[in-house]
């Protein structure tokens, strides 16, 4: 019957998954991530190949049974990037049809099937993409400054707030104990020293982002201040992009995807939804049902069959839950 392979490559992880043409997810595999503009196209494709081959082994499917591979690749931001990655993937996968796009685009299809809309995908880093009615596409990644780069930026803002709390600039916060328990430091001074002198600590503390957001959900004023400031700046950029693309008054889907927006409740997701809706009143904000890798598979089915119907979606939900590829996402207040 033929199968779809979806690929989602970010800076920290590369995923591949297999879906049949009825929407059933059969397997997935995760390996290391890559950012090909810095790490090189050869490494990026080798990791894609590794993830694809391993998930095919798990699904007991031959490479010759694959009809299309949809690859969402971080770093595919500029004119010519899609062709560059496509050529490299063609060398690896020969006669299989290859579709390459930015990883943000596959994340969009993890929440919406409407070809017109936008996505904000926040994980370790962040990206956003807008898909206009005239067919134009705008990928925002390089327009978003370092202080907006997803979980990495939120963790750093939290550390800075802890230091200001210790000085007395900000009130006491449960974030202090959260970070000290994580680092095993006796005080904030030693925590700051660890951050400055230990090269890996900035990356390690990103794992605290779900607990930072949980702290805001529990009413911690400093955590709420951090996430509100982050939301204000990110929403300002995203709303400007909607205006740039003549989409500010459009009735369309805006998908929230990525690990930063996960959780049974999520202070950041809720406050961003309110801020966006205050100025773009016709948008429909959706927290994605699936992990982005599923969106890549859905894109492949739409490409081959022209649709992804309710039965296919039901199959994807059932099999996605079995594989752990559904997202625990909040509703919006």
pLDDT for the residue 333: 53
> H/E element holding 69?
strand 66-73
Per-position pLDDT tens, the chain of length 333: 799 999 999 988 999 999 999 999 999 999 999 999 999 999 999 999 999 999 999 999 999 999 999 999 999 988 899 999 999 999 999 889 999 999 999 999 999 999 999 999 999 899 999 999 999 999 998 899 999 999 999 999 999 999 999 999 999 999 999 999 999 999 999 999 999 999 999 999 999 999 999 999 999 999 999 999 999 999 999 999 999 999 999 999 999 998 899 877 899 999 999 999 999 999 999 999 999 999 999 999 999 999 999 999 999 999 999 999 998 665 555
pLDDT for the residue numbered 77: 87
CB 260 within 8 A of CB 268: yes
Measured distance CA(139)–CA(143) in Å, rounded: 9
Give the Cα separation of 131 and 80 in Å (integer): 18
CA distance 38 to 60: 34
Report how far apart, in Å, the C-alpha atoms of 76 and of each of 45, 82, 101, 138, 249 are.
13, 6, 6, 12, 28
Domains observed in the chain: 3-111+290-323 (3.30.420.40), 115-287 (3.30.420.40)
Question: pLDDT at position 24, please?
Answer: 98
- pLDDT given for residue 252 in this prediction: 97
**What pLDDT shows up at residue 173?**
98
Looking at residue 328, what is its pLDDT?
66
Q: How many CB atoms lie within 10 A of CB 320?
A: 26
What global pTM score does this model have? 0.92
Q: Are 14 and 32 a contacting pair, CB within 8 Å?
A: yes
- Whole-angstrom distance, CA of residue 62 vs CA of residue 106: 24
Output the CA torsion 109→115→118→123 (10° steps): 20
């Amino acid at each position: 019957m033929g199968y779809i392979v979806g690929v989602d490559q970010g800076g920290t992880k590369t995923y591949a998954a297999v879906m049949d043409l009825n929407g059933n997810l059969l397997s997935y595999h995760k390996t290391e991530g890559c950012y090909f503009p810095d790490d090189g196209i050869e490494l990026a494709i080798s990791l894609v190949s590794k993830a694809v081959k391993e998930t095919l082994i798990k699904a007991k499917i031959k490479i010759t049974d694959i009809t299309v591979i949809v690859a969402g690749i971080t770093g595919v931001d500029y004119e010519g990037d899609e062709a560059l990655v496509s050529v490299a993937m063609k060398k690896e996968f020969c006669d299989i049809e290859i579709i390459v796009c930015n990883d943000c685009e596959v994340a969009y299809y993890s929440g919406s099937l409407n070809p017109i809309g936008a996505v904000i995908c926040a994980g370790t880093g962040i990206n956003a993409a807008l898909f206009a009615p005239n067919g134009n596409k705008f990928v925002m990644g390089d327009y978003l400054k370092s202080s907006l780069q997803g979980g990495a930026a939120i963790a750093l803002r939290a550390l800075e707030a802890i230091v200001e709390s210790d000085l007395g600039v900000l009130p006491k916060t449960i974030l202090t104990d959260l970070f000290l328990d994580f680092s095993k430091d006796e005080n904030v001074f030693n925590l700051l020293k660890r951050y400055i002198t230990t090269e890996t600590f900035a990356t390690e503390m990103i794992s605290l982002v779900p607990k930072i957001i949980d702290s805001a959900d529990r009413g911690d004023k400093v955590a709420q201040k951090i996430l509100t400031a982050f939301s204000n700046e990110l929403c300002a950029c995203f709303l400007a992009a909607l205006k740039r693309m003549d989409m500010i008054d459009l009735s369309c889907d805006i998908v929230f995807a990525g690990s930063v927006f996960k959780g049974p409740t999520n202070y950041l997701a809720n406050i961003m939804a309110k801020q966006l809706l205050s100025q773009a009143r016709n948008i429909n904000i959706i927290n994605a049902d699936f992990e982005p890798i599923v969106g890549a598979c859905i894109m492949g089915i739409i490409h081959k069959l022209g649709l992804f119907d309710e039965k296919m979606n039901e199959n994807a939900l059932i099999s996605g839950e079995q594989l752990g590829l559904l997202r625990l996402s909040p509703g919006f207040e």
